[in-house]
Amino acid sequence: MSASTDALLHTPLDALHRELGARMVPFAGYAMPVQYPAGLLAEHHHTRQAASLFDVSHMGQIRLLGAGASEALERLIPMDVQGLGLHRQRYGLLLDEHGGILDDLMFVNRGVADGGDLFLIVNGACKHADLAQIERHLGTQCTVQPQFDRGLLALQGPLAAVALARLLPQVQDLVFMTGLACTWEGADLYITRSGYTGEDGFEISLPAAATEAFARALLAQPEVKPAGLGARNSLRLEAGLPLYGNDIDTGTTPVEAALAWSIQKVRRSGGARAGGFPGAERVLGQLDGAVPVERRRVGLVARERVPYKREKFLVQAEELARLAPQPWTYFTPDATYPPSRARPEVWSQAAEFTQARDQYVAATQTLLAAAKGDDLDAIRRAVVAVQDNCTSCHKQFRVK
């Protein structure tokens, strides 16, 4: 019914997500919560009105250590790193030799000039490639230390500061794009006032062993509810924030991506440290007007409901309905394989299993019929029915 999840990695909150009834999906090599029982729309609105907790532990955390780390990083990104103040955070773009965006990231100066580090947070799907790129170009100039085993939480919403301050009062001193180190129940945390929703909020880096306890403490606050990747995507889209791999990629320069604001004056033509980063000739040329900009990322606001790609959806529904009966044959009593080849716990429940199969097949047929019509609410209900049936069968029979 679905691809095997055996090879997926799990964040420190995996058990908590399942306890809370999250629908888990593969994302960036991890099993991640796309939404909770309240639903994506409710999570979206709650984030805008109060505070939501997101698990973003799939993202990559990297430390750069050494006196030359700031100068070295400027050879890979067109941002002012050397001028970044203590515990100040900045948005950055990792570029290739053509000025295309390999990834976007956040970085903060945690006292790198005085024995501390530059702390980078990169996208989960890109973190291994980013690490290889950084090590290849900067490995001889500074120490590169990945921390992919740490937890990372995002508490977002207008009441995020109220909720977090009950656990850590000092966070009230933070302003946007600043950070601080603190301790909670013996665990070392680093917190920045930033996020990816367009709301006030915080991102919290902490040891894996402390992540679940801290998450539970936050969820115990009356303002806070859990939210999944679905709401995180709709929130960032509403705020006009780019998603790597969707809005920006190696075929997009910072100027074309409407991210020229992130390149500080000191790194532009005429600046004290102009250029010196990959693709500088093209990027600076576009900024100066010497190189034409033939396309640019813009935002569109729909006046009505956003249309879905009907033809593509219909093809997918037809394929789903066609394939629905097939994977079940192996486990049913009339299977060609002898019972010894089937899983005993499934074979002993053959009648229930057959019934579940028939319900799933019927659900896919209902979805196909809905896909041929124009009733979007009927389509949504049919999609949810297929998803719920699939989840139920997976839990009951451990179907892969």
Residue in 145, 153, 149, 148 with CA at minimum distance from that of residue 171: 153
How far is it, in rounded angstroms, from Cα 145 to Cα 346?
46
More confident residue, 10 or 337: 10
Query: Which pLDDT belongs to residue 357?
Result: 74
pTM comes to 0.77
How far is it, in rounded angstroms, from Cα 120 to Cα 65?
11
* Residue percentage of the chain with pLDDT more than 70: 84
The two three-digit tokens of residue 236, written as one number: 């960032």
Q: What average pLDDT score do residues 53-81 get?
A: 98
Query: Which pLDDT belongs to residue 17?
Result: 98
Query: Which pLDDT belongs to residue 332?
Result: 42
Query: Which pLDDT belongs to residue 336?
Result: 42
Q: What average pLDDT score do residues 353-363 get?
A: 78
Q: How do residues 152-199 score in pLDDT, each as one tens digit?
A: 999 999 999 999 999 999 999 999 999 999 999 999 999 999 999 999
Query: Which pLDDT belongs to residue 349?
Result: 58
DSSP lists the bridge partners of residue 168 as: none
Task: Give the containing element (helix H, strand E) for 62.
Answer: strand 60-65
Band (110; pLDDT cuts 50, 70, 90)? very high
Q: How many CA atoms lie within 13 A of 162 on its CB side?
A: 11
Q: What average pLDDT score do residues 76-94 get?
A: 98
Query: Which pLDDT belongs to residue 378?
Result: 78
Query: Which pLDDT belongs to residue 382?
Result: 80
Q: Taking a C-beta distance cutoff of 8 angstroms, is the pair 184, 142 a contact?
A: no
How buried is 382 (Cβ within 10 angstroms: 0-12 exposed, 13-18 middle, 19+ buried)? buried
Q: What average pLDDT score do residues 20-28 get?
A: 95
Query: Please, what is the average pLDDT of the chain?
Result: 88
Instruction: Note the residue count of the chain.
Output: 400
* Residue percentage of the chain with pLDDT more than 90: 72
More confident residue, 381 or 199: 199
Domains of the chain: 9-57+150-238 (3.30.1360.120), 310-397 (1.20.120.10)
Q: Which conformational region is residue 46 in: left (phi greater than 0), alpha (psi within -120 to 50 degrees), or beta?
A: alpha
State the Cα torsion 196-259-97-146 to the nearest 10°. -20
Query: Which pLDDT belongs to residue 189?
Result: 98
Q: How do residues 188-208 score in pLDDT, each as one tens digit?
A: 999 999 999 999 999 999 999
State the Cα torsion 351-354-360-361 to the nearest 10°. -150
Contacts of 392 by beta carbon, 8 Å cutoff, 6+ apart = 356
347 has pLDDT over 90: no
